[in-house]
């Protein structure tokens, strides 16, 4: 028979057993997990966009006429 391990979550430095939390509290933990994943995904998208913008700005700079004095 397989031994079942308790799942825990750490909130503000305190570890809680998920089985000891209310259904609503477990739901909020799930919501936090989902939103953390979405924030990470958006941060990756932002990094991609910032890299592309830098490349476009460099390409534009190379296409601009050189100043003659």
Q: Could you tell me the two tokens for 6?
A: 């308790």
37 within a domain of the structure (yes/no): yes
The string of pLDDT tens digits covering residues 9-64 is 999 999 999 999 999 999 999 999 999 999 999 999 999 999 999 999 999 999 99
Q: Could you tell me the two tokens for 19?
A: 């089985």
The residues that bridge with 11 in the sheet, in sequence order, are 14
- How many domains in the chain? 1
Domain range for 21 is 8-63
pLDDT band of residue 3 (cuts 50, 70, 90) is: low
Residues with Cβ within 8 Å of residue 15, at least 6 apart in sequence: 8, 9
């Amino acid at each position: 028979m397989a031994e079942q391990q308790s799942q825990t979550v750490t909130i503000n430095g305190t570890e809680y057993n998920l089985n000891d939390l209310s259904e609503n509290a477990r739901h909020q933990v799930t919501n936090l997990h989902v939103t953390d994943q979405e924030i990470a995904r958006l941060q990756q998208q932002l990094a991609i966009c910032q890299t592309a913008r830098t490349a476009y700005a460099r390409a534009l700079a190379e296409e601009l006429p050189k100043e003659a004095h």
